[in-house]
Amino acid sequence: MSLVLLAITPAIFYGVLGVVTNMANLHIVGAGAIGLSLANAFAYDHSVTLLVRRRYTVPFAFSSGQELYHLPVKHIDLSDPTQNKPLIQHGFICVKSYQLKQAIQSIAPYLAEHANLFISHNGMSDLKEIEQYLGEKQALFFFSTSMGGLKINDTTVKATGAGETYLGACNDIALERLSLSFNQFFCSQIPHSKIHHNIAQLRWQKLLINVAINPLSAIHQVKNGQLRQPRYASMILQLLNEACVVANADNIDIKLNEALTSAYQVMTGTQHNSSSMAQDILNGRHTEIDAICGYIVKRGAYHGIDTPYNREMLNQLLKLHS
């Protein structure tokens, strides 16, 4: 079997100030499934360094099909005071929603003056908490992705499905650089990637997919595709109905039929994936349920909207934590 790569197409890239470059220095915070999948996508056209909190002695690896190969990346242990700290021009933060603030704090001192920061996580976070650590010339982007990856050990991720990826701008300087950054890092490196011009809509769409898939897949320990079975349909409908009502109250125009269609499309496209929340429960880790169903419950309470189905999922997952 031939080796399958997520991205191998060479290209010419342009720096923030329009200077032509052949290779950019990228720093990825987090060596989870998404972080290592991005490392695989970027490492053949750019210089990639993983920013982690420990020292690894085993090479990072990527598995696609029956092939397993080492990723040509470096890593820096941010907790080691003896290691030289990076100057981050392009930073990708791929951590859990509850780890996001700490991750931003840990790298903020090393961001270049014109840095581009890309974040991705499940659920909803408060962007204001992130923006307070950024300077006026530093761009903040959010990208939503449904590409599938499974961590099979500490340093290896296995590709489990190709999904869509959307990039949006979270502040004005990011909006100015949106097309350039998309062409640099997403257009040719990550399959099925697109620009999204409404960041609030993008983040809510990502949240609704999480609401439909993550809690049920975690509680029942099933893969995403199995959620298409009729026995889950009623609960998915109720969860998304509540979430859409809350979204509409937050002035986000998302219709229930659109949310259902998107959720089932992701279930189909990632049918062999185990969701990150299902993996968290299986491995005894904290989940992102507070930022998913918990966010729906919180915003529902703010608007005076009862959300019993999302509250049920929230409570069940919190019990599994304990």
The 10s digit of each residue's pLDDT in 94-114 is 999 999 999 999 999 999 999
Q: 163: pLDDT confidence band, cut at 50, 70 and 90?
A: confident
- Look up residue 206 and give its two tokens: 């990502």
* Same domain, yes or no: 20 and 135: yes
* Same domain, yes or no: 150 and 37: yes
CATH of the domain at 57: 3.40.50.720
Q: Does the structure show a pLDDT above 70 at 2?
A: no
Tell me whether residue 117 is in a domain. yes
Q: 64: pLDDT confidence band, cut at 50, 70 and 90?
A: confident
The whole-chain average pLDDT of the chain stands at: 90
Tell me whether residue 8 is in a domain. no
**How many domains does the chain divide into?**
2
CA distances to 3, 245, 260, 271, 285 from 252, rounded to whole Å, are 43, 9, 16, 28, 32
* Same domain, yes or no: 254 and 293: yes
* Same domain, yes or no: 272 and 237: yes
pLDDT of residue 247: 98
pLDDT of residue 150: 83
The residue from 175, 197, 219 where one domain ends is: 197
Tell me whether residue 268 is in a domain. yes
CATH of the domain at 278: 1.10.1040.10
The residue from 173, 197, 221 where one domain ends is: 197
Tell me whether residue 7 is in a domain. no
Q: Is 203 exposed, middle or buried (0-12, 13-18, 19+ CB in 10 A)?
A: buried
* Same domain, yes or no: 78 and 109: yes
pLDDT of residue 205: 95
| pTM score over 0.85 | yes
Residue with the bigger pLDDT between 14 and 83: it is 83
* Same domain, yes or no: 135 and 52: yes
Tell me whether residue 6 is in a domain. no
The residue from 162, 197, 232 where one domain ends is: 197
Q: Which of 44-48, 115-119, 188-192, 201-205 has the lowest mean pLDDT?
A: 188-192
Residues recorded for the chain: 322
**pLDDT > 90 in the chain, percent:** 76
161, 191 in Cβ contact below 8 A? Answer: no
Range of the domain at 263: 201-321
Tell me whether residue 2 is in a domain. no
Q: 16: pLDDT confidence band, cut at 50, 70 and 90?
A: very low
pLDDT of residue 22: 56
* Same domain, yes or no: 216 and 157: no
* Same domain, yes or no: 151 and 230: no
